[in-house]
């Protein structure tokens, strides 16, 4: 069933590729010669495909990966000051905005280096599956670029504040097995198995009750905006409403 077929010749020049099969979307960053570094063009296509995933009822989950040896090396330094990287489509939406608006589960398949802005892109996914070749680097402090796509909050949410401080203040790489150990990634697999494994997980998600899956996802994420007590209350309220809807209470 997976992986998807090789991309068409007409797609070779696109800096982001997008495919849909059996309810699963696959976004592939496609600047391998530039380590999939971020430009305005790349962001526009990425945001457009995330919007397609969000609004297409046939898509239940999606995978984001990179072509070549890197997942994403962060901003293309050659376009800083030239490209509009904060509002690439002119609609006022930045990277975290587009990811948050896409409520469908997004799985990051990290095939190589995820560095600085590329690391932030990965952190905006719901969870990560990593290749044995993956490594994660927050080099904001080293290169003198302020984080703006969630690094300071999403990294500590994933690995805890103490580990986040070590990674962000030293700018040292975190290899795949260490990323697994500290909870940054869910699984580490051989490179050839990465995309097939991520797509299979997405397919498993698509196989469950879509409406209830989305309700449970929202309930899990409720903890990000309130206390434990508030999140438990939210779950209980929705459970009572569910019983009323099915006439069990």
For the stretch 175-229, pLDDT in tens is 999 999 999 999 999 999 999 999 999 999 999 999 999 999 999 999 999 999 9
1 occurs within a structural domain:
no
Prior bond of 3 cis (ω within 30°): yes
2 occurs within a structural domain:
no
Ramachandran category for residue 81: left, alpha or beta (phi over 0 → left; psi -120 to 50 → alpha): left
Nearest-CA neighbor of 248 among 208, 239, 219? Answer: 239
**Shared domain check, 157 and 38:** yes
Question: Rounded distance, CA 34 to CA 24, Å?
Answer: 27
**Shared domain check, 183 and 118:** yes
Question: Rounded distance, CA 148 to CA 130, Å?
Answer: 24
- Residue 138 is given by DSSP the state -
Provide the number of structural domains found in the chain.
2
**Shared domain check, 81 and 200:** yes
Nearest-CA neighbor of 143 among 72, 88, 80, 69? Answer: 80
**With contact defined as beta carbons under 8 Å apart, do 62 and 107 qualify?**
yes
Q: What is the residue-averaged pLDDT of the chain?
A: 94
Tokens standing for 125? 């996914």
**Shared domain check, 170 and 224:** no
Burial of 186 (0-12, 13-18, 19+ CB in 10 A): middle
173 occurs within a structural domain:
yes
**Shared domain check, 158 and 65:** yes
54 occurs within a structural domain:
yes
Model confidence over 8-36: pLDDT tens digits? 545 557 999 999 999 999 999 999 999 99
**Shared domain check, 214 and 152:** no
In the chain, % of residues over pLDDT 70:
94
Nearest-CA neighbor of 134 among 182, 74, 185? Answer: 185
**Shared domain check, 173 and 75:** yes
Show the domain range for 233.
Answer: 210-245
* E strand or H helix that includes residue 18: strand 16-21
100 occurs within a structural domain:
yes
pLDDT at 114 over 80: yes
Question: Rounded distance, CA 221 to CA 90, Å?
Answer: 29
110 occurs within a structural domain:
yes
pTM of the model: 0.92
Instruction: Look at strands 106-110 and 127-131 and give their pairing.
Output: parallel
122 occurs within a structural domain:
yes
**Shared domain check, 241 and 198:** no
102 occurs within a structural domain:
yes
């Amino acid at each position: 069933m997976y992986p998807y077929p090789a991309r068409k010749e007409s797609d070779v020049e696109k800096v982001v590729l997008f495919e849909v099969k059996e309810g699963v979307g696959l976004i592939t960053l496609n600047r391998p010669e530039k380590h999939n570094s971020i430009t305005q063009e790349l962001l526009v296509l990425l945001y457009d495909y995330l919007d397609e995933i969000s609004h297409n009822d046939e898509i239940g989950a999606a995978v984001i990966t990179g072509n070549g040896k890197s997942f994403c090396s962060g901003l293309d330094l050659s376009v800083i000051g030239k490209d509009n990287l904060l509002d690439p489509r002119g609609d006022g939406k930045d990277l975290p905005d587009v990811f948050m608006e896409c409520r469908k589960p997004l799985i990051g398949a990290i095939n190589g280096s995820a560095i600085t802005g590329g690391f932030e892109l990965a952190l905006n996914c719901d969870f990560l599956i990593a290749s044995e070749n993956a490594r994660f680097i927050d080099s904001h402090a080293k290169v003198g670029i302020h984080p703006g796509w969630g690094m300071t909050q999403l990294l500590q949410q994933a690995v805890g504040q103490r580990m986040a401080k070590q990674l962000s203040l030293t700018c040292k790489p975190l290899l795949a097995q260490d990323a697994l150990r500290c909870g940054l990634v869910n699984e580490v697999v051989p490179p050839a198995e990465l995309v097939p494994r991520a797509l299979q997980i997405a397919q498993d998600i698509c196989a469950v009750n879509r409406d209830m899956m989305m309700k449970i996802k929202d309930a899990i994420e409720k903890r990000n905006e309130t206390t434990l007590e508030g999140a438990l209350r939210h779950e209980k309220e929705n459970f009572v409403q569910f019983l009323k809807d099915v006439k069990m209470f």
